Amino acid sequence: MGIQTYRLPVLPAIFKEKGYEKQNDVYKNNMTMKQRMIVTLVVTVSYIATAFSQSIKHSIILNDAEKQTRVLVEEVEKARMDKPDLASPRTVEKGELKMVSSRDWTSGFFPGELWFLYEFTRKNEWKQKAEAYTANLEREKTNRGTHDMGFKIYCSFGNGYRLTKNAAYRDVIIQAAKTLSTRFNPVTGCIRSWDTNRDKWGYPVIIDNMMNLELLFVATQLTGDSSFYKIAVTHANTTMKNHFRPDHSSYHVVDYDTITGKVVRKNTHQGYADESAWARGQSWGLYGYTMCFRFTKNRKYLEHAENIASFLLTHPNLPKDFVPYWDYNAPNIPNEERDASAASILASGLYELSTYSKKGKMYKEKADKIVESLTNNYRSPIGENKGFLLVHSVGHMPNKSEINVPIDYADYYYMEAALRSKKLKEKRKLW
């Protein structure tokens, strides 16, 4: 058989980005007809897969989330038959569902996911479930022993009030904000985080605490009482001053002297090292300062969020699929665990940031990339993992806890990101 001439199909310009620059070259070889057909099939399949990845299929994501959450609800209800005091699912450990009480900082995410499903479907099924699991957390509105009021109360009652305007939810939000305000120290200018670890820190403040400020901002909107707003702004300003390095990465923990208000030490608790960039903490920071701009319109918060975004999106250790390693400075990259939770928080924050910034188009594209990556490569098959949506999150690597597992806050922010993406596509406001 003589040398055969075969021309590959003409493909879209996007293939230049994928390394197919020679798509129109003439390939001369001894290919058989069968080999030519295989080449054509491979190229066609690659094109279809690439084209699919360029557009987020919101209906598929959210319909699959609905199917998977039914599995989770069934698992949760079975678990609560024996232990009704357990409020919400947190993760899967050694193949078993781990439930937590209302006191756990993650207890508000599951009710929040149910509210998101109601927002998407408007089905009474999800509203009733959301109401039931939200009610399990009401006792937390007076719990002064935690800074995580936003995570627990705003993700649950806050979303419920946003969607239903239930006056009882409004009252819970206001009481929770009053309770959270008791943890503010005017000398340090911050809301205290943990009450534990007193032997290590005197007055610890963690970057995660930025997420709880939304509860305070909303309380001012609901009541007209500016004291909540002032506490939130003071905390945000103090955190901006003391938590961030010149490159706009964040420390995890800053410890304060309550007599002088000065910083005592800066550490990590869940990151690789004191000077490293713990991935979920960086995402908390971006999301938190973007949210602060929403309520204050203070451009310094917008600029700070943009600076954090620049650090993250241009980091040399950020993988090509935009799902970060559990710490941007983890020692064995690329042989380190990814953290889907850090990615989902980042994506949701970037979608909001895209609505405020002159760089909005770029931020939305990056958020789309993250959601595509999570959807294509980090989702649980329907019916598996006890009904959680995402796999491959990291809770507390130094403590060897919740490593490479499904986890509720990853699912919550993934669903929020998908809904935000859907609203932006439909030219609707996020709120």
* Same domain flag for 207 and 337: yes
- Specify whether 126 is located in the same domain as 38: no
User: Is 126 within the bounds of a domain?
Assistant: yes
User: For residue 119, is it within any domain?
Assistant: yes
**Domain region containing 37:** 4-50
pLDDT value for 339: 98
Using the 3D structure, point to which of 50, 72, 87 is the last residue of a domain: 50
Is 97 within 8 Å of 76 (Cβ atoms)? yes
Check whether residue 39 and residue 179 sit in a common domain: no
Nearest to 95 by CA among 336, 351, 406: 406
Catalytic: 327?
no
- Single-letter residue type at 361: K
396-413 pLDDT tens trace: 999 999 999 999 999 999
Active site residue 148: yes
Higher pLDDT, residue 40 or 349: 349
DSSP alpha helices (H): ranges in 262-407?
279-296, 299-313, 340-354, 360-377
pLDDT score for 200: 86
- The pTM assigned to this predicted structure is 0.88
| Residue at 179 is within a domain | yes
Within a domain: residue 398? yes
Residue 84 C-alpha from the chain's centroid: 28
How is residue 159 written in tokens?
């979303």
* Residue 158 DSSP class: I
Does residue 138 share a domain with residue 285? yes
Q: How far apart are CA 1 and CA 15, in angstroms?
A: 32
Asked if residue 430 is part of any domain, the answer here is no
- Residue 431: the pLDDT is 86
In a domain, 396, yes or no: yes
| Distance from the Cα of residue 221 to its chain's centroid | 25
Domain for residue 365, yes or no?
yes
Tens digits of per-residue pLDDT, 372-384?
A: 999 999 999 999 9
Residue 29 near residue 48, CB atoms below 8 Å: no
Q: Are residues 42 and 87 in the same domain?
A: no
Residues 275 and 379 in one domain: yes
Same domain, 100 and 215: yes
Specify the number of domains making up the chain. 2
Residues 134-176: pLDDT tens digits?
999 999 999 999 999 999 999 999 999 999 999 999 999 999 9
Q: Are residues 155 and 252 in the same domain?
A: yes
Q: Outline where 83-155 has alpha helix (H).
A: 109-121, 124-135, 149
Residue from 148, 339, 368, 408 carrying the catalytic annotation: 148
Contact indicator for 312, 346 with CB cutoff of 8 Å: yes
Same domain flag for 119 and 135: yes
Give yes or no: residues 146 and 18 share one domain: no
Average pLDDT over residues 302-322: 98
pLDDT in tens, 262-297: 999 999 999 999 999 999 999 999 999 999 999 999
Nearest to 134 by CA among 167, 99, 169, 101: 169
Query: 300: how many CB neighbours lie within 10 A of its CB?
Result: 14
pLDDT reported for residue 227: 98
431 inside domain: no
Residue 54: predicted pLDDT: 53
Active-site residue, from 82, 85, 199, 208: 208
Alpha-helix residue ranges (DSSP H) falling in 136-192: 149, 159-164, 167-181
| Structural contact between residues 348 and 368, judged by C-beta atoms closer than 8 angstroms | no
Q: pLDDT for 43-77, tens place per residue? A: 334 433 433 345 799 999 999 999 999 999 999 99
**CA dist., res. 304 & res. 293, Å (int):** 10
Same domain, 402 and 264: yes
CATH number (domain holding residue 311): 1.50.10.10
Q: Alpha-carbon distance 177 to 105, whole Å?
A: 16
Looking at the fold, whether 14 and 94 belong to one and the same domain comes out as no
Residues in the chain: 431
How far apart (Å, rounded) are the C-alpha atoms in residues 374 and 288? 22
